[in-house]
Chain A
Amino acid sequence: MQLVESGGGLVQPGGSLRLSCAASSSAFSNYEMNWVRQAPGKGLEWISYINRSGRSPSYADSVMGRFTISRDNAKNALYLQMGSLRAEDTAVYYCTTGNRRQPLVLWGQGTLVTVSS
């Protein structure tokens, strides 16, 4: 299974953006999913997790209340709705498979989000 992110771009501070992650096969429904981001020149930061059924999401403190993770297993897709964007949200955003017992194995190529006026 391959993952392809899309939806990144330039957005003004305070704006919103929706990222998508398209999986290449219906095996997608068997995976628990995460979003991980990497600011320019910085390290990796996990930001959100969702289980196979789309319930029990969790978020890093840095995005809690501003970002919402969701999935549509019928479309083999994962989403990240981002709101109240700040300059510090500027990063490459990756979708990746994994949970507490499974490592983050499959990764997309990433999509760049730039928050700037």
Chain B
Amino acid sequence: QSVVTQPPSTSGTPGQRVSISCSGSSSNIGSNIVNWYQQFPGTAPKLLIYSNNQRPSGVPDRFSGSKSGTSASLAISGLQSEDEADYYCAAWDDNLNGYVFGTGTKVTVL
């Protein structure tokens, strides 16, 4: 089974910039678009970034995404308390013929 790796956790103070890495392989991130999801406890995930770096309507511009080769990253600039949540990257995997999610990163606002 394909594995996409994220750091388990990261933290920052309000106003700081934090970044989350997402490392995959040629069959997923290397071949397909990357999407990012934000999830609060007890709720369904919400699409945060799609097509590597696009924000759906309503997502603040302090969230940004990028991709290079088999890795991607999510940046949150001007961190706010309401950004404290779990974040997952995801990409279609051509070997799996399905999605593979990153291991997830918990963002804590100190």
Contact = CB atoms under 8 A, between A and B. Distances in A.
Interface of A: 34, 36, 43-49, 58-62, 94, 98-101, 103-105, 107-110
Interface in B64-110: 86, 88, 90, 92, 96-104
A51 to B, nearest CB: 10
Given A44-B88, A61-B1, A104 B33 contact: no
B37 A100 contact: no
B95 to A, nearest CB: 11
Contacts of A100: 32, 92
Contacts, number: 67
B47 interface: yes
Contact of A44 (B1, B37, B51, B98): B37
Contact of B35 (A48, A61, A103): A103
Q: How large is the interface on B (under 10, 10 to 19, 20 to 34, 35 or more residues)?
A: 20 to 34
Nearest to A5: B44
B96 A44 contact: no
A46 B98 contact: yes
16 contacts: A36-B101, A43-B88, A43-B102, A46-B100, A58-B98, A61-B1, A62-B1, A101-B33, A101-B92, A103-B51, A104-B35, A104-B37, A104-B45, A105-B47, A105-B50, A109-B44
B36 to A, nearest CB: 9
B89 to A, nearest CB: 10
Nearest to B88: A44
Contacts of B45: 44, 94, 104, 107
B44 A94 contact: yes
Nearest to B34: A103
Contacts of B50: 103, 105
A58 B93 CA distance: 11
